[in-house]
Amino acid sequence: MYIRVEVMIIKLSSYLANSYKFTSPLVLCDLTLEGYHNSLVVVASRKAFKDLKFGNIDVPKGLSIWVMVVTLHTNLDIEGDDAYKFNPERFSNGTIGACKLPHMYMPFGVGPRVCLGQNLAMVELKMLIALILSKFIFSLSMRYVQSPTLRLLMEPEHGVHLLVKKL
């Protein structure tokens, strides 16, 4: 509902002419997208260029390390009891403010290997959401059961049952 209000205000303000202006006022849309794309990068891999110690683990030079990113974003020991809860407000102070440990949230990767297309992807998602919300109303069906499940990606175990109504 609130995202639709943002979209309609922007649409009425003729921000659509400039894509930068169009995307920047969508604060709630930004927070929602941050909360939803916790597993765009499935695996992050790095190779040790020198011997190092990672906590109590010795990592020899040349060892390849692979991390399933979604397991970082849903780790109960790090994120607490609401790790599986959709909570866009946790990103209200940015992604760094949402994370208990630096670089734990990396939906597009992190560092020099960060996805080059992340800004384009975010603009495209915002445009798509804005266009859809300006034409349709969505509500959850009574059959919907919130059941986030960790598979290769985070997904609803029983699907998402939506009711769609044209505006």
Annotated binding residues for heme, as ranges? Answer: 115
Tokens representing 77 are 């020991």
Which residue ranges are tagged as binding site? 115
Distance separating alpha carbons of residues 122 and 89, to the nearest angstrom: 18
> Could you tell me where the DSSP H helices lie in the chain?
2-12, 19-23, 27-36, 69-73, 76-79, 94-98, 118-133
End-to-end CA distance of the chain: 13
